[in-house]
Structure 1
Amino acid sequence: MFDDRSPIYQQIANGIKDEVLSGTLKEDEQIMSTNQYAAFYRINPATAAKGFAQLVDEGVLYKKRGIGMFVSPDARGRLRAQRRERFFADVVDPMLTEARMVGVGVDEIVAYLKDGAR
């Protein structure tokens, strides 16, 4: 599950975000504890806790004292908005810049996308 490209705690956070975005984890659903997560993936509990803490700081998860961690009610919508913004900044804007440099018009791009979507 984990690779060497980024810190494990970051991969944990990104994996949980992906599960929220895909609907695998629902809003207000309880998730595994950090100890359960650490045991399941055979990682240090402190590493799992650091990933969970990041998600709490970002508002993706919230704690119920004495009960556990839960997916925030608005997590999916906020994550979708963030990913959409990043998609346009990281994918669409550079594509449009390249298209302008090589003389491809927006209409041609739209036609190409529509044809490829079939």
Structure 2
Amino acid sequence: MTPRDISKLLFTTVYPLYVQKAERKGRTREEVDAVICWLTGYDREQLAHHARVAIDFQAFFDQAPRIHPNSAQVKGTVCGVRVEDISDPLTQKVRVLDKLIDELAKGKAMDKILRR
């Protein structure tokens, strides 16, 4: 997916897929929310709002209060591409979020996912 395609992708559409993926693996919506809030700096109320309204990834990340500084520690591959090698900032943020959700679904401990 090109950076332009990712920027137009609706967070509102992808969020339920993140939750479904986690729940299929025995994790919870609350854990998905905790991961997203950790990455973006949104509180739970702000995240719930963004999950209800039509907002694309560009706006979702542009409006984020702060991207967690430890998100730079997220490494590995998503869709065959190394997260740390992605040059487009928005695409990298989206793929970091994808990687965090993958780690959650694979049963990794929250402390490790949140890079504590």
Fold conserved (TM > 0.5)?
Answer: no
* TM-score normalised according to structure 1 size: 0.29
* TM-score normalised according to structure 2 size: 0.29
Higher RCO structure (Cα 8 Å, ≥6 apart): 2
